[in-house]
Every structure is written in structure tokens, then in C-alpha cells.
Amino acid sequence: MIRPQSIGAVTPQTEHFGEALNLRSGGVLPEYDLVYETYGALNASATNAVLVCHALSGTHHVAGYYEDDPGNVGWWDNLIGPGKPLDTRKFFVIGVNNLGGCAGSTGPRSLNPATGKHWGADFPFVTVEDWVTAQARLADRLGIHRFAAIVGGSLGGMQAISWSLQYPERVANVVAIASTPRLSAQNIAFNEVARQAILSDPDFHGGHYYEHGTIPTRGLRLARMIGHITYLSDDSLAEKFGRNLRHGRPMYNFDIEFEIESYLRYQGDKFSQQFDANTYLLTTKALDYFDPAFEHGGHLPAALARSTADFLVVSFTTDWRFAPERSREIVYALLHNQRNVSYAEIDCAAGHDSFLLDDPRYHGVLRSYFDRMKV
């Protein structure tokens, strides 16, 4: 075992797809680009590939950094690299920016070839299943027939699950972390408020804000603030911020008084400057729609019967967005089908965001699972 280190400088690549993609919404993408990154080397038999699927605000930049921007480190760099739990000396790891995204793959901010203008609100609705289909096409291009593993946290976990249902023969292992087989009414409710914040922003212009030279930053900022509350646990907020007052006493105004307010405003402001509002809308809808059990009368075991992969399911005790109970649903449905499934419920204080952190028990479980994986 070596000391864990960074994969180093990485370079995103872009793959163009000229053949149309028929989407579940009935929409069609006539052509599209996918931007992606790879870490490590594909072995001769192409059996060591691991696809990392990203969540709402994630991208293809999963590990390493950019030569010209060394501070821009991949969002799961603590997990992936030489000597890290997902070891790039063994695995060929791929990160892809999803369709409809705003980090390089074709999305609402891209130009619609039919009009020469930004897609904006005309960009078709994309689903988890569509993302998986597009990822499978990329895998074809890269000569990967069967993945050693599909890995994802949160919405990324949904993609990993969907892979095992859409392409069971192409997935040896699914690693679904802090995920859920479907959103609850409360989850949808939070998404809906976030969407309403964006949709009702006067700068949104029905989604065609690019043409108006505006950005619905107010709405996007609120959406991100709401999101952030659900990513963290009550306890972790209490520990980080408590009731700490910036000025030591109440000031009786609407400026920042409590430190938690400062944190939320900062996160909201930062996000609203860089993320695309249409992508946010589409992604929350993809979250809402995902429900493999829907076509099976809500019966998850029936839905997961198609999957033949081995599963590692991980949840976090303080995650109230996608609580352990939701992961257990996946586990029970797999067991019902007599599938191989490992399950770890990690006692980590950080809530939903725990999947991005490097809690030693959590990373220990992942390391162990990847170490014994045959490629």
C-alpha cells in the first residue's frame, strides 16, 4: 500500500455524438457533446473501468486538478487516485458531465443547432435513464463493454442503480451511496420550492434569459440555500454554527447576524454566479421522476429483479435527505431477488454531504469493496 496521492493534472475530453438521442420525455436531442475525464489506464481486456456518476451540482471533474488552475480539484478527489480507496493503479475511472448540464456537455446553455440560439427552455427534459443511455454510448466509444463498477452518491447513486436495470449485462458492481430508489413527497417539496424560486425570478424570462442578457441569480441563490440546508444535518449545523452571532449580540437588522446566515448567503451567492438555472430545473425534475418501481406498481423488488450486479449500498445515520431507511429499501429489494448486496450504515454527523467527506469508516468500506473487486 502506498501513501494516497493525487492523480495529478488531468485534462477533460469531449466526445461528439452525431446520432440522435430519443429521450423518455418524448423529446429528441439531434446531436450532442459529452465532456468527460478519465483517470488511470484501461486494461487490455477492458474489464477495469469504473464510471462515477455525479449528483446535482457535480461535474465530470471528479479527481485531480487542472494544470492551469491547480486549486480546481475534483469533487471526489479524496476517494480517487493512486493509493486511494478507488485506486487508479487498479481501475480506469471515468467521470462524465450529464446531458443538460452546464459544465461542458450539451445543455440548455448550449446552442440549439436548429436555431443557432441557446437552447434555454427548449432543451428537452432529460431523465436518469437518458443520462445512462448517453453514458453507455460513451462507453461504447471508449471500448468498454462491461463496467467493473458504476459508482455514485445521491443522484449519482440513482444512475448507478438505473445502469443495472437498463444494461444489466454491462455492470458487474453497483456502488450506491446516500441514495434512494425514489424521492419522497418531502424531497419533491424541497425541489419544488427551489424551482419556484427560479421560475418566479423576473430575470428568468421563461428560461430564455440568455437572450435577455440576464441571469436569474436571485432564484438560483435561494434554490441553493434551500438545498444546502437539506445537505447538512441539524447536528452538524449546530456544531459548525450554533447560534453564534457575528457581532456577539443582536443588531436588529436584516444584515448577517447569525453565522449560519453568512454561510448560506455565501453558498447561494457563489453557486448562483456559476451554475445554470435551466440545468438546475432539469436536474431537480430528473430527481423527482426517477422511480424504477413506478412501472411495477410501486413494487421495488419487482423493479430490481432485472439487475444482476453485486451491490454495495452505503448510507449515513444523520442523512435526513436520503435517510438510511431509503437505502435499506434498496437492500431489501435486492435480497428479495437473492442478489449479492453489502450494506454499511455509517455513523457520520455530516448528513447527506457525508458522501463527499472522507470519514475513515466510510472510506474503509469503499476501499475494502474495491480492493476485493475482481477485474
Tell me the catalytic residues: 154, 319, 352
How far apart CA 274 and CA 195 sit, in angstroms, is 17
Options 46, 125, 336, 375; binder of a second copy; rule CB under 8 A:
125
Residue type, 22: N
How far apart CA 263 and CA 251 sit, in angstroms, is 18
Residues 61-120 touching a second copy, rule: CB under 8 A, are none
Q: Which CB sits closer to a second copy, 243 or 372?
A: 243
Binding piece for a second copy, criterion CB under 8 A, among 29-37, 54-62, 111-119, 181-189:
181-189
Q: Which CB sits closer to a second copy, 31 or 295?
A: 295
**188 is an interface residue for a second copy by CB under 8 A:** yes
Residues 233-252 touching a second copy, rule: CB under 8 A, are 234, 237-238, 240-243, 250, 252
Nearest Cα to Cα of residue 79 among 129, 127, 39, 27 = 39
Helix, strand, coil shares, percent, the chain, to 5: 40, 15, 45
DSSP state of 356: G
Site map for a second copy, 260-279, x if CB under 8 A? xx--xx--x-----------
The grid coordinates of residue 172 equal: 458487474
Options 25, 115, 273, 274; binder of a second copy; rule CB under 8 A:
25
For 71-132, the three-class secondary structure string (H helix, E strand, C coil) is CCCCCCCCCEECCCCEECCCCEEEEECCCCCCCCCCCCCCECCCCCCECHHHCCCCCHHHHH
Under 8 Å between Cβ of 81 and 89: no
Binding piece for a second copy, criterion CB under 8 A, among 30-38, 64-72, 161-169, 176-184:
176-184
Binding region for a second copy (CB under 8 A): 25-27, 124-125, 182-186, 188-190, 192-193, 195-197, 199-200, 202, 218, 221-222, 225-226, 228-229, 232, 234, 237-238, 240-243, 250, 252-254, 257-258, 260-261, 264-265, 268, 281, 285, 288-289, 291, 294, 320
